Amino acid sequence: MAFHKLSDGPITMVVAAVKNTEGNFGPQFCFTSTDGTDVYVSEMAGAKGLARINLTPETVVGKTVTFEQVKKDGKTYTNLSAGGTPGAAPATRTASTAAPAMAFEDLVTLYSRCVEAAIQHLGKRCEQAEIPVDGSAIQAAAATLFIRGSK
């Protein structure tokens, strides 16, 4: 089977299977595409990346996912994002190719959903753990979700 090293660049593929393996640096996920190409990602980075796009190792099968390495502050991170065209390099966003602005009504709807999610998840979990939470914590959580969701 062929495999793709993320250090060679990003790859977009339809995931056919995911299995846990043991690599030189610890536990890994092996993502296999429908064309038989394998991509190995550390278990921690894979789990975080899948959670960020609301998927699990079980639910990612059949989905199109882009895998890439990003260097920031001297560290290398593995990013997973949903969608894209299999076999094509993902589009990179530059100043000249900025995402189109969302309509105001869509922004209001998205922000409302983010506030509700922040209350539901952060607020309730903090309450269960008996951690005091105030409006600014909810606002910060909602803003984080909104910024990520509006990109």
Q: What is the pLDDT of residues 44-74, one digit of tens each?
A: 999 999 999 999 999 999 999 999 999 888 8
Residue 122 and residue 74 share a domain: no
Please, what is the Cα angle at 61 between 58 and 62, to 5 degrees? 150
Q: Report the C-alpha gap between 43 and 82 in whole angstroms.
A: 18
**pTM of this structure:** 0.56
Reference 118, options 144, 91, 97; nearest CA is 144
Quote the CA–CA distance of 40 and 32 in Å, as a whole number: 9
The answer to whether residues 114 and 142 belong to one domain is: yes
pLDDT of residue 1: 61
Residue 92 falls inside a structural domain: no
- Which of 44, 61, 86 lies at the terminal end of a domain, its last residue? 86
For the chain, the average pLDDT equals: 83
Q: Is residue 1 part of a domain?
A: no
41 and 72 belong to one structural domain? yes
| Domain coverage including residue 144 | 97-149
